[in-house]
Structure 1
Amino acid sequence: MKNPYPTNFSNASLLIPESRIIAGLLLQEPTTEEWKRQVYDDNILQLRTLNGAKTAGNLIRRRLNTMDKALWKFVHTGSKELATQSVLAATVKFSPLLGDYIRDVYQRERKQFAEQLRPSSWNQFIEECHNRIPDLPVRSESTQAKLKQNAFRIMAEAGMIDNTRNMTIRHLSLAPQLKRYLENSDEHYVLSCLLPERDRV
C-alpha cells in the first residue's frame, strides 16, 4: 500500500522568499541545464551551501508543480498575503498529512470557537492516522518532532495561529483571487483545508 502521508515537509516550512524566486524561474520554463545553472551554480536562492540550494529548490519546485502557472504568478508577484496563501495551498496539496491536520483538527477547533490550538492535538491526530491506516509507517521520534514543529511553523507563517508559543487560533481570510483560482481549478481538497465548511461553494 502506498503511504498516503509522505514526510515531505519535515525539512522546511513555507520558504516564501525562496518560493517567489523559484516561481519566477518556473514561469520561464527552464530546461534541466538552466535549472541547475541558476539554482546550483548561480545560487539564486542565496543559500549557504550547495546541498541547501538543491534541497530547497527541489522541494519548492515539487510543491509548486502541484498547481499551474496562474498560481505561480500569485507566488512570484502577488502581495505577501497572496503569495503566502498560494504557497500554503500548494503545500497542503503536496503534503496531505499537513492538509488533513489543518482540515480535521484546526478547522474543527475553529468551528468550536477554541481560543488556542493544543500542541498535543498533533500527537492525537497522528495516533488517529495509525488507527485508521494500520499499515502507516512508524516514524522515528526525531522525524515526528520535526513534522510537528514545521506543521506549527507553517500555520504560524500562514496566519492560522498567532505564533508557535501561544498557539492562539486566528481567522484565515482567504485572498479572493486564490479562492476563485481554487474553485475554478476544482481544488476541493485544498479548499476543504483552507476554508471553513460554511465558506465553501
Structure 2
Amino acid sequence: MKNINYSAKLTGESFLLYEFKIVANLKKEGFSDKEIRKRVLEENLFQYKFKSSISRRLSPLIKRVNSIDDNLINMLLEDPLGYGVIINLYTIMKNDKLFFEFMDEVIREKIEYNYGFIEKKDINVFFTSKAEQSEIVAGWSEQTIAKLKQVIFKILSEAGMIEDVKTGKLNKLLIPIELKEYLLSMGEKQYIKAMGEYIE
C-alpha cells in the first residue's frame, strides 16, 4: 500500500463481481491482458449497451485479476460459500489505497466496537481527514468526492456489508476459514482485519 498513491479512479468502478469472474476465467484459460481486452470488447462479454462503459471498467478489472494468484482465481470461479464476494472486496482494497483505508479506519472500527451503523458523517469525517493528510485528496473537486462516497457505499452494499443503504446498518462478513487461512499464509492479515475480522 505504501507504493500506491491516492487515486479517484474508483469513481468509474463498482463491485462488478460478474465482470470480475469473466475476466478471471479468461485469465485462467491463458489469455493475455491484451487478448482479454479484445475478447471482452469484440464479443461484448459483459453484455453492456455501450462499449465505452466496457473500456472504462476493463483496466481496473484486469488489475484486480492480476493481483491474485491461481489458487484465488480458482476459489473465485468455483465460489463455494460465497468466496467470490470476499476475494473481490480484497482485490478492490489491494488496488485502491483510499478504499483500503476507509475499510481499515472506518468499517473495521465500527465492527470491532459493535457500532452497528455507518452514517454520512463517518464518511465525511474520513474524507476531511484525508484531505488534510494528502495534497492529492485535497485537490479533488466536490463532485469527485461526492461520487467516491457514492461508489464506496455501493461497493459495501453489493458486498453485503451495508445491509440497508438508508439506515446504514452494517453486517459483518463471514470469511470462510479456508479462504481466511490462505490469505493469512500469504501475509495479507491487514486486509482480513480491514473486513472486520478479529485477528490476534
Q: Same fold (TM over 0.5)?
A: yes
Does residue 164 (structure 1) correspond to residue 165 (structure 2)? The answer is: yes
Structure 1 counterpart of 2:147: 146
Secondary structure of the corresponding residue to residue 10 of structure 2: coil
Structure 1: state its 5+ residue gaps: none
The 4+ residue runs of structure 1 with deviation greater than 6 A are: none
**Structure 2 contact 10–96 (Cα < 8 Å) conserved:** yes
Deviation at 1:104, TM superposition (A): 0.7
Aligned to 1:104: 105
Q: How far apart, CA to CA, are the structure 2 residues paired with 1:155 and 1:107? A: 13
Matched, 1:130 2:131: yes
Give the Cα–Cα distance (whole angstroms) in 2 for the partners of residues 80 and 167 of structure 1: 25
The CA RMSD over aligned residues, in Å, is 2.0
3-state SS of 1:57 partner: helix
Match of 1:42 in 2: 43
**1:174 aligned onto 2:175:** yes
**Map of 2:86 onto structure 1:** 85
Separation of aligned partners in 2, 1:79 and 1:11:
29
1 CA distance for matches of 2:25 and 2:33?
A: 15
1:184 Cα deviation from its structure 2 partner: 1.2
1:3 deviation in Å?
Answer: 6.7
The 1-side partners of 2:146 and 2:88 are apart by 23
Q: Does 1:18 align with 2:56?
A: no
Alpha-carbon distance change, 177 to 7 in structure 1, aligned in 2, over 3 angstroms: farther
TM-score by length of 2: 0.89
Worse overlay, 132-141 or 24-33: 132-141
- How far apart are residue 57 of structure 1 and its match? 2.1
Q: CA deviation at 1:53?
A: 1.7
Deviates more, 1:115-124 or 1:66-75: 66-75
Query: Percent of counterpart pairs with the same letter?
Result: 21
Pairs aligned (count): 198
Q: What is residue 188 of structure 1 aligned with on the other side?
A: 189
CA contact (8 A) 1:19 1:75 kept: no
Give secondary structure in 2 for the equivalent of 1:114.
coil
Change (3 A) 1:80 1:164: farther
CA-CA distance at 1:87 after TM superposition? 0.4
**1:30-69: CA deviation from partner (whole Å, max 9, x where unpaired):** 1355324311111111111222222222221112212212
Superposed displacement of residue 120, structure 1: 1.6
Is there any run of 5+ residues in structure 2 with no aligned partner, and where?
none
* In 2: Cα distance, 1:170 partner to 1:34 partner: 38
Deviations 1:142-194 (A, max 9, x none): 11111101111111111212132111011211122321221111113312312
The normalised TM-score by structure 1 is 0.89
- Alignment-derived partner of residue 200 in structure 1: 199
Deviation at 1:75, TM superposition (A): 2.0
**Contact in 1 for aligned 2:161/2:170 (Cα 8 Å):** yes
8 Å Cα contact 2:111-2:196 kept in structure 1: no
In structure 2, do the counterparts of structure 1 residues 83 and 123 end up closer, same or farther at CA, with 3 Å as the change threshold? same
The residue type paired with residue 10 of structure 1 is T
Amino acid at match of 2:199: R
Shift in Å at residue 134 of structure 1? 4.8
Amino acid at match of 1:192: K
